[in-house]
Amino acid sequence: MSGILADKKIIVMGVANRRSIAWGCAQEMERQGATIIYTYQNDRMKRSLQRLVSDDAQLFECDVANDESIERAFTDIKEVVGSVDGIVHAIAYAKKEELGGSILGVSRDGYALAQNISAYSLIAVAKYAQTLKLLNDPSSIVTLTYFGSERAIPNYNVMGIAKAALEASVRYLARDMGDANVRVNAISAGAVKTLAVTGINGHADLLKMSQERTVDGQSVSLKEIGGTCAFLMSDLSTGVVGDVIYVDKGVHLI
């Protein structure tokens, strides 16, 4: 198949349903010739994913809260599919009660959980991919972040802090994986209505506010985010390292 990702195999982590950013990335990368390997969090997500993909799609369970689960998933992928050219990490979680009101209400446990799933998991994923020699030379890791890492967005709270840690993790990982010719970058996506976003208190206001601030009054689409992901996975982006690329139709400018 032709396209900028012809002959590339890419792992996509974090498809919950057809609204997921990970699904938008998978679709665009497939359009560019990539073979996609999916990981899912649990059986519920597996059933949801199976409704979207063809019967012969490669699906592997991977709960990023658990090192053994990551190690098992990547070991199995290497055995079944071989080494890969990239990983898309589109995973975040915080308790609903931590995503509203004042940041002063954030509990120690809630803070740690958000950091663990939404930021540390990128380091764990990169670590097992590296130690299991899952990644080809060159290859690319892309994660998804949000502007709430830089600005105090209403209700985003503990997730904004986790995204700041995630973006810093991108830079340190990019430095330390450079020798292996693995690029690590983040896409800072504009707000789109997904399962994760509906966990934020007042998410309808957040989505409306974000849409109003785009340059043309239209929210960014999954296709647009996926297109940038395809570029970052391709050899066209070998000079882009440790960066955060906005795909938000200008919201961060205004």
Q: Which of 130, 122, 114 has its CA nearest to residue 88?
A: 122
**Which H helix or E strand runs over 84?**
strand 84-89
Q: Is 101 a known ligand-binding residue?
A: no
Q: Does residue 172 carry a catalytic annotation? A: no
Instruction: Map the footprint of ligand NAD across residues 182-241, applying CB under 6 A.
Output: 189, 191-192, 194-197
Q: Which residues contact 75 (CB under 8 A, 6 or more apart)?
A: 132
Number of residues that bind ligand NAD (CB under 6 A): 26
Measured CA to CA in angstroms, residue 35 lies from 7, 29, 32, 51, 80 at distances of 7, 8, 9, 18, 13
Q: Does residue 146 carry a catalytic annotation? A: yes
Residue with tokens 């803070």: 111
Question: Closest separation between CB of residue 26 and ligand NAD, Å?
Answer: 11
Question: Closest separation between CB of residue 165 and ligand NAD, Å?
Answer: 12
Q: Is 196 a known ligand-binding residue?
A: yes
Q: Is 195 a known ligand-binding residue?
A: yes
Q: Is 126 in the site for ligand NAD (CB under 6 A)?
A: no
Q: Residue 46 corresponds to which amino acid?
A: K
Instruction: Check 38, 40, 128, 146 and give the catalytic one.
Output: 146
- Interatomic CA distance for residues 218 and 208, integer angstroms: 10
Structure tokens at 46: 């597996």
Q: Is 58 a known ligand-binding residue?
A: no
Question: Closest separation between CB of residue 7 and ligand NAD, Å?
Answer: 27
Question: Quick one: 7 or 205, whose CB is closer to ligand NAD?
Answer: 205
Instruction: Map the footprint of ligand NAD across residues 66-85, applying CB under 6 A.
Output: none
Q: Which residues contact 209 (CB under 8 A, 6 or more apart)?
A: none
In the annotated binding site for substrate, the residues are 94
| Residues within the interface to ligand NAD (CB under 6 A) | 14-16, 20-22, 41, 45, 63-65, 90-93, 117, 144-146, 189, 191-192, 194-197
